[in-house]
Amino acid sequence: MTYSTELVELIEEFKEIDDKMERLEMVFDLADEVNLLPIEQWTDSTRVHGCQSEAHVKVEIIDSNVHFYSGADSKLVQGLMGILTMAIHGIEVESVLTLSPEFAAEMGILNSLSPSRSNGFRNMFDKVMNEIRHHA
Amino acid sequence: MTYSTELVELIEEFKEIDDKMERLEMVFDLADEVNLLPIEQWTDSTRVHGCQSEAHVKVEIIDSNVHFYSGADSKLVQGLMGILTMAIHGIEVESVLTLSPEFAAEMGILNSLSPSRSNGFRNMFDKVMNEIRHHA
Amino acid sequence: MRDDFPILQREINGYPLVYFDNAATTQKPNSVIDAMNDYYSNSNANVHRAVHTLAGEATEGYESCRRELKSRFNASKAIITSGTTEAINLVAHAWGRANLSDGDAIILTEMEHHSDIVPWQMLAKEMNIELRYVPVQKDLTLDMDLFEDAIEGAKLVCVVHISNVLGVCNPVEKIIEIAKKKGARVLLDAAQSAPHQEIDFQQLGADFMAFSAHKMCGPTGIGSLLVSEDAFAEMQPFMGGGDMIETVSIHGSTYQKNEQKFEAGTPRIAEAIGWSEAIKWLNSIDIKSEHKRILHSARWLAVQLREMGMTVYGRHDDNDAAVVSFLHPTMNSEDLAHLLDARGFAVRTGHHCAQPLLDRLEITGTVRVSLYFYNTHEEVVSFVDYLKEILERFA
Amino acid sequence: MRDDFPILQREINGYPLVYFDNAATTQKPNSVIDAMNDYYSNSNANVHRAVHTLAGEATEGYESCRRELKSRFNASKAIITSGTTEAINLVAHAWGRANLSDGDAIILTEMEHHSDIVPWQMLAKEMNIELRYVPVQKDLTLDMDLFEDAIEGAKLVCVVHISNVLGVCNPVEKIIEIAKKKGARVLLDAAQSAPHQEIDFQQLGADFMAFSAHKMCGPTGIGSLLVSEDAFAEMQPFMGGGDMIETVSIHGSTYQKNEQKFEAGTPRIAEAIGWSEAIKWLNSIDIKSEHKRILHSARWLAVQLREMGMTVYGRHDDNDAAVVSFLHPTMNSEDLAHLLDARGFAVRTGHHCAQPLLDRLEITGTVRVSLYFYNTHEEVVSFVDYLKEILERFA
Ligand SMILES: Cc1ncc(COP(=O)(O)O)c(C=O)c1O
Ligand SMILES: Cc1ncc(COP(=O)(O)O)c(C=O)c1O
């Protein structure tokens, strides 16, 4: 698959950082990139299971483009959502569906997270992809 | 306590042997030293518990002297009985009661036996001593 | 002392490891690691009922653990289990099933670890037994008045000696005294107290005491249940298999008389040998003054955290453990733990397997710092310094 | 290969160790010992639900064991237990209690190890269940006709895959086929087969398979129960505690969905890491040709023993294990074992936890030589030579 230039740049940026704290700081900053799914809309069907924190996602398809809304009570998790937002929001369904969660591994993000968090990311990714497939 | 000269000699002999097999061989030979308790007289009350093999002992006190009869289906165990025979048979009750199972440890016999066998020896020793105390 | 623990040389993300997750599990001294190594390299064999030299060495090693346990805790019966959890389940099955009946009551507290709740919930459901939970008060202590009310008609009291979340040490002497008067048996969950205190089991007068090796410098996969002679006589076998039997025929079986009756199958041999060394290591240190030292650090930490605006859950009385549970008013606990890990600080977050306690405190988790004897005050100071930095940058 | 096993350098009473007690427990390669060492020296932490680096490494190490198990045995569910015995007890409690009822029947065989008898006797007594024992015939095989008679109305068949006394490999494919036709579940006691064969659990079609790490080059204190998806769905929790729950409140608890549901408490972390390496070691050798080699030595040994006037219990078919059980007509077995130990030979004597089988054979014990892949034919030859010497001097 091909990544958006935004995502490519982000991956490059991540790769350059050695210090784990700085990498986490970057993820934190990306929490602002989400299209916030307000807490009032958090339901059982938006919840990402297997996350230790509350993490909620919602997908819409408008004109064959993915629209992705999300929010979490952990800034780190929401930062991961921000990265996913950059990877799929406003992108064509067809192209999104070629994505694999490997891009996050490539960025070295998953390694900086605890196994439960990186499982959480994979769960979120799978849930989002399933919903896109379902809607499409 | 004081050991009979026979026992003292035996302890000396044992100490001189380095090779485990030769030590076992000596114990085997001592199986002949017992006053055999015939199998027909083996009962639940003569049985030494906690021995893996059948081991039976009987004590009589005649004129304040200990008389010790024993037998086992293992020659090694019967050899241990032979050693005990040399230590207590025909000896005055008073003197026998000062004995502790340490003499066997001193001979290096217990170390050449598996823990279950040396426990067996201790059980036999305790049973015999209890009976002597009981009879006396 | 730190030299005894090889893992303390470890670096995490380029920073020295600062291990503050000791209530979850402690680190192991070289003597423990070496003993297991030596066992596997030189003496490995199955125990009991064998004649050869290795089997003798293995048996002696295994039984030495029982001797060390009995002597350190002054107990007459020490059953070896796979940990606290299995020890408590053993009580539920071996004692509970045989001595409780429809309508009986068991007392628990809201401070219990899940391992001292779930086995009783399962038994309660199966046997129709009532569970009475002693509430935790605002000051983080048990409501002893309600305990005295609850004891009436209860057959068993299950209480955590030291809370793994709060570090609070419960008044077990008093609880045992009251329970004994009413003829109830007492189970102590000593998972957190056995590592931190000197406990005289027979003098204390409890009937059961469960704890894990891995929380007291020993290996994983092994723990113990100490049992009073009276309670032991009331226990029926739990798991069946090799080593716990005397004879087996197709018509039925007879069981061993001693602790082996409850140790079915090939036992945890290497683990027992390792644990034996861990107990010797604990015997070799001055546990009372070490406890004072780390408790002092914990108190200092609690003050600092409160000054930073954190809520601290704990009171840090003299017998409490050096455990500091806290929450930041806005920052997510796991985010905090991730940031701490980035500089080598290992803390635990989450419900610490004590959800009923957290329900009572109306929270869903805490960040927990738990100290052990190899921790230094300098580590605690550097923790506070770094936490300040985190809060400045992220909160 | 012998260089992989440090204990094989050991001397006993001045003679090189010849370890022939492998059915009791096997020795450990360096990779296993080193992995546990490394865990305790560098990565020790409690698993699951934690954020810090060590906890991540420990969790990964623990779960790697499950992955290795599933892949070596082609299983979809691998529950980690403390050994074969606990695995079988788990079936009795988690599956038996929930799926059997008054008057149901379980089939066992006379060849079972006590660990596959006593749990069922205990359950049978409690739940009024009938136990039907398939007899062992003169030729040391199961009476399959009587098995077919017994299957009618049975809910569970428990069978030892390879006998630890005889080495006989039972026709489990056929047993499973017949049992499945009648709708009975099948439990394989694979304590002796898992170390010696390549087993495809799903293809074989059994419902449960129990085995121990320590008999396949892994550490003590750990084993596994493989479970078919169908049987897994029928299992209720057994032991309660940490890690096996999803939520706990004072009103009740909900449980995990996967294997963790049956793994209460802090798991056997170091043990899992060691076992993982043991499985990798087994994967790395050519188990089929190694098996042929040691079976060949066992057959040769059986011939020699018979020539010396011993009674040998075993038939040594191609799939049987390299186990040789024998008796001297007059000489006490334990005396013999002591004499063997004097020259470094480690063999086992006694009932091998299979008294019903010995009852059928009308003996109370045997001397057992059990070979593993690191044993050589030279060792077997020197054993025979020394045995001749013993008989000359002592018999
Ligand atoms: C056939 C068989 N079943 C069960 C067991 C019990 O295994 P463990 O003692 O490791 O639980 C053994 C080993 O002793 C065995 O050989
Ligand atoms: C108070 C308390 N009880 C029980 C346990 C359970 O111990 P384990 O997981 O070793 O069985 C723990 C540790 O997690 C604990 O802290």
DSSP letter assigned to residue D35 = H
Q: DSSP for D72-116?
A: HHT-S-EEEESSHHHHHHHIIIIIIHHH--TT-EEEEETT--GGG
* Lowest pLDDT segment from A102-116, C121-135, C144-158, C236-250: A102-116
Here the tokens at position C391 are: 């809060």
Per-residue pLDDT of C223-235, as tens digits, reads 999 999 999 999 9
Q: What is the pLDDT of residue C18?
A: 98
CA distance A19 to chain D (A): 14
> Can you tell me the distance from the alpha carbon of B105 to that of B125, in angstroms, rounded to the nearest whole number?
12
Tell me the longest C-alpha to C-alpha distance in chain B.
41
> Can you tell me the distance from the alpha carbon of D33 to that of A73, in angstroms, rounded to the nearest whole number?
43
Q: What is the mean pLDDT of residues C84-88?
A: 98
| Angle between helical axes of C53-73 and C269-284 (0-180°, round to 10) | 40
| Residue A100: CATH number of its domain | 3.90.1010.10
Q: What is the pLDDT of residue A116?
A: 64
Q: Average pLDDT across each block of 10 residues of chain B; the chain has 136 residues. List them in order.
A: 75 83 89 94 89 86 93 92 91 88 72 68 89 84
Per-residue pLDDT of A64-97, as tens digits, reads 999 999 999 999 999 999 989 988 999 999 988 8
- Contact between D283 and D72 under an 8 Å Cβ cutoff? The reply is yes
Residue A122, pLDDT > 90, answer no
Name the residue with the closest Cα to ligand 1, atom 7: D84
Residue D167: which of D12, D362, D297 has the closest Cα? D297
B76 vs D13, D335, D350: nearest CB:
D335
Q: Which residue has the higher pLDDT, C64 or A118?
A: C64
- Which ligand is closest in space to the CA of residue D160? 1
Active-site positions of D read: 353
Chain B residues within 8 A of D393 when measuring between CB atoms: 25
> Can you tell me the distance from the alpha carbon of C82 to that of C69, in angstroms, rounded to the nearest whole number?
15
Interfacial C residues in 91-130 facing D (CB < 8 Å): 92, 110, 113-115, 117-122
Residue C345: which of D49, A79, A119, D55 has the closest Cα? D55
Per-residue pLDDT of A4-26, as tens digits, reads 787 788 888 888 888 888 888 98
CA distance B91 to chain C (A): 33
> Can you tell me the distance from the alpha carbon of C284 to that of C298, in angstroms, rounded to the nearest whole number?
23
Q: Which residue has the higher pLDDT, D151 or A49?
A: D151
Half-sphere exposure in the Cβ direction for D348 (13 Å, CA) = 26
Give me the percent of chain A exceeding a pLDDT of 90. Answer: 39
Overall number of domains in chain A: 1
> Can you tell me the distance from the alpha carbon of D56 to that of D41, in angstroms, rounded to the nearest whole number?
15
Q: What is the pLDDT of residue B116?
A: 64
Residue type, C99: N
Residue C98, pLDDT > 70, answer yes
Q: What is the mean pLDDT of residues A91-110?
A: 80
CA distance D49 to chain A (A): 7
Burial class (CB in 10 A: 0-12, 13-18, 19+), D364: middle
The answer to whether chain B touches chain A by having 3 or more C-beta pairs less than 8 angstroms apart is no
Name the residue with the closest Cα to ligand 2, atom 14: C24
The mean pLDDT value of chain C amounts to 96
Per-residue pLDDT of D104-135, as tens digits, reads 999 999 999 999 999 999 999 999 999 999 99
Q: What is the mean pLDDT of residues C333-339?
A: 93
What is chain D's alpha carbon radius of gyration, rounded to the nearest angstrom? 22
Give distance in angstroms: CA of D382 to centre of ligand 1: 28
Helix (H) or strand (E) holding C203: helix C201-204
For the question of residue C353 being annotated catalytic, the response is yes
Residue A1, pLDDT > 60, answer no
Tokens 């921000």 sit on residue: A82
Q: What is the pLDDT of residue B110?
A: 67
Against a cut of 0.90, is the pTM above it?
Answer: yes
- β-strands A55-62, D18-19: how paired? unpaired
Q: What is the pLDDT of residue B123?
A: 86
C198: left (phi over 0), alpha (psi -120 to 50) or beta: beta
User: Which residue is closest to B28 within chain D, CA to CA?
Assistant: D394
> Can you tell me the distance from the alpha carbon of B95 to that of C320, in angstroms, rounded to the nearest whole number?
57
Binding partners of A (≥3 Cβ pairs within 8 A): C, D
> Can you tell me the distance from the alpha carbon of C193 to that of C190, in angstroms, rounded to the nearest whole number?
5
Whole-angstrom CA distances from A121 to A48, A101, A118, D129, D174 are 9, 8, 5, 49, 46
Give the sheet arrangement for strand C223-227, strand by strand: C78-81, C223-227, C208-212, C185-189, C154-160, C105-109, C130-134
Q: Give the Cα-Cα-Cα angle C115, C117, C121 (nearest 5 degrees).
A: 125
> Can you tell me the distance from the alpha carbon of C232 to that of C95, in angstroms, rounded to the nearest whole number?
8
Residue A53, pLDDT > 80, answer no
Residue C24: which of C261, C323, C316 has the closest Cα? C323
Following CA atoms A23, A28, A32, A37 in sequence, which dihedral angle do they give, to the nearest 10 degrees?
120
Whole-angstrom CA distances from A27 to A32, A57, A74, C312 are 10, 18, 11, 28
Query: Alpha helices, DSSP H only, in chain D?
Result: 30-38, 53-73, 84-90, 97-99, 118-127, 144-150, 172-181, 201-204, 229-233, 269-284, 287-307, 333-342, 355-361, 377-394
Percentage helix, strand, coil, to 5, in chain A? 55, 15, 30
Residue D107: which of D162, D175, D192 has the closest Cα? D175
C60 vs B52, B115, B117: nearest CB:
B115
Q: What is the pLDDT of residue B1?
A: 57
- Contact between C191 and C237 under an 8 Å Cβ cutoff? The reply is no
Chain B residues within 8 A of C59 when measuring between CB atoms: 115-116
Identify the domain containing residue A57 by its residue range. Answer: 5-135
Spatial neighbors of D24 by CB under 8 A, at least 6 apart, are C45, C46, C50, C55, D215, D348, D370
Asked whether the ipTM of the predicted complex exceeds the cut of 0.90, the reply is yes
> Can you tell me the distance from the alpha carbon of D319 to that of D337, in angstroms, rounded to the nearest whole number?
27
The neighbouring-strand residues paired with D235 are none
Q: What is the pLDDT of residue D242?
A: 85
Q: What is the pLDDT of residue A18?
A: 82
Here the tokens at position C324 are: 């500091």
- Contact between C339 and A22 under an 8 Å Cβ cutoff? The reply is no
> Can you tell me the distance from the alpha carbon of C133 to that of C158, in angstroms, rounded to the nearest whole number?
10
Here the tokens at position C19 are: 């291990």
Tokens 């807490």 sit on residue: A39
- Contact between B103 and B3 under an 8 Å Cβ cutoff? The reply is yes
Q: What is the pLDDT of residue A115?
A: 62
Q: What residues line ligand 1, using a CB cutoff of 6 Å? A: C 242, 265-266; D 23, 83-85, 113, 115-116, 160, 164, 189, 191-192, 212, 353
- Which ligand is closest in space to the CA of residue D86? 1
Query: What φ, ψ does residue A112 adopt, rounded to 5°?
Result: -85, 0
Residue A14: which of A124, A120, A130, A106 has the closest Cα? A106
> Can you tell me the distance from the alpha carbon of D45 to that of D56, in angstroms, rounded to the nearest whole number?
8
> Can you tell me the distance from the alpha carbon of C30 to that of D329, in angstroms, rounded to the nearest whole number?
50
Chain C residues within 8 A of B117 when measuring between CB atoms: 51
Here the tokens at position D334 are: 């334990």
Tokens 């596959």 sit on residue: D116
> Can you tell me the distance from the alpha carbon of D363 to that of D355, in angstroms, rounded to the nearest whole number?
9
Q: Average pLDDT across each block of 10 residues of chain D; the chain has 395 residues. List them in order.
A: 96 96 98 98 89 92 97 98 98 97 96 97 96 97 96 97 98 97 97 98 98 98 98 97 89 91 96 98 97 98 97 97 97 94 95 94 96 98 97 87
Return the number of other C-beta atoms located less than 10 Å from residue D60's C-beta: 14
- Which ligand is closest in space to the CA of residue D81? 1
- Contact between C58 and C44 under an 8 Å Cβ cutoff? The reply is yes
Q: What is the pLDDT of residue A2?
A: 66
Q: DSSP for C364-377?
A: S-EEEEE--TT--H
